[in-house]
Amino acid sequence: MAFGQGFEDDEEVMAEINMTPLVDVMLVLLIIFIITMPVITQSIEVELPKAALQETSAEILPDSVSLIVQANGDIQWQQQAITLAQLQQRLVEVAAQSPQPPIQLQGAAKVPYEKIVEVMALAQQSGVNSLNFVTQTK
């Protein structure tokens, strides 16, 4: 089928794809990408503060209270073994102080999760505001 021929012939179907709209869309997309690429690659130099890893312990924070949950579930308050009832009484005493000393909670690696949650729940019920977790770096 040649251009300019067959316009008056209605029986013949045009089987060619019109490429003009496809080329127009591709050119528009190309222009959009050319315009947005400098915006994407632009960066702003920001100088972030540097933080040094510091180990915190009861010696560094003299006003804090050390609370350790052993692997077998035993609880130590300032390196002294106590029961849950005694822990609740001491947490109420800490909550009554103004300002409250922070409690440093440390759990052994093999301690059941339920024991830690139980100690956290007692601290919350007692009104303790500051409960910090002590972790060990490898």
Ranges of residues in the chain with a pLDDT under 70 are: 1-10, 48, 51-62, 137-138
pLDDT for 30: 95
Structural domains of the chain ordered from first start: 65-133 (3.30.420.270)
pLDDT for 55: 60
Beta-carbon contacts of 76 under 8 Å, excluding residues fewer than 6 positions away, are: 66, 67, 68, 69, 70, 82
Per-residue pLDDT tens digits for 51-70: 666 665 544 445 888 899 99
